[in-house]
Structure formats: structure tokens, C-alpha cells
Amino acid sequence: MDSEEDDGKMTSPTQLSLKELRKRGYIAGITEKFNPFIKIRQDLWGFADLACAHPEKKEFLLVQATSGDNVAARVKKIEENDNAKKWLQAGGKISVWGWRKSGKANKRKLWTLREVEVDV
């Protein structure tokens, strides 16, 4: 999946994912929060940045949004998370979405999405 929108600013994987999910018909919201006391970002249940539901597909999806280089590490983190296992047992889905810019030399680079469904 390529995204042509690029205004020269740094676009976060979370914002890119939100836009793509909504384009696909999901309702989606950010679940990752910044904890000012310990100065870190905390994911829902230790792994989810976005909670999503698709009304027609009757699908509930949690997404970990990251850069393209971090996909494997995020998948491993989720596979080791007990809450992720419970979410999957309850019938939900989990996906890691990695974003990177790619394209031919001397051409405008586009955001490219790599999706990895996690099943532990």
C-alpha cells in the first residue's frame, strides 16, 4: 500500500495508519498515551497503538504502528504478551503496520505500508 500524501513534514506511523484504516472503512482511535510522570509512551495492554472496528466485516483489530525497520521487534513483543494472547482468544485480530518511504532513485519517495498479522 503506497500513500502519495507527503507535505515534507515528518508523518508519524500512527497518523499514517489512522488515515489508511479510515480509508478502508474502519472506525479507529489512538490508544497509545504519553505518561508524563515517567516520560514514556504507553500502549494499550502493552502492545496496541490503535483500536479499530469494521462495521461491515464485524472485525475488531488492534494495530501496532511503527517504522518499517521495527516490524520484527514489534511482532516479537506482541507474541510474548499475555494480553495479546487473550485478545486473540476473544476473537480479536492484531496487526503490526510498518511504514517506510521508498521509491526509485531521483524520484519522489512514497510511504509504503507493510502489514503483518500476529497470531500467537
Residue-wise pLDDT for 34-67, tens only, equals 889 999 989 999 999 999 999 999 999 999 999 9
Instruction: Return the CATH number at 62.
Output: 3.40.1350
Q: Evaluate whether 95 touches 63 at the Cβ level (below 8 Å).
A: yes
pLDDT at 5 over 80: no
> Which tens digit of pLDDT belongs to each residue from 89-105?
999 999 999 999 988 88
Other C-beta atoms lying within 10 Å of the C-beta of residue 100 = 16
Number of domain units in the chain:
1
Residues above pLDDT 70, as percent of the chain? 92
Rounded to 5°, the CA angle 42-93-70 comes to 50
What is the average pLDDT across 3-22?
Answer: 78
List, in sequence order, every residue forming a beta bridge with 25; answer none if it has no partner. none
Other C-beta atoms lying within 10 Å of the C-beta of residue 38 = 7
Q: Burial level of 64, CB count in 10 A (0-12/13-18/19+)? A: buried
pLDDT score at 2: 54
Average pLDDT, the chain: 91
Domain that holds residue 106: 2-118
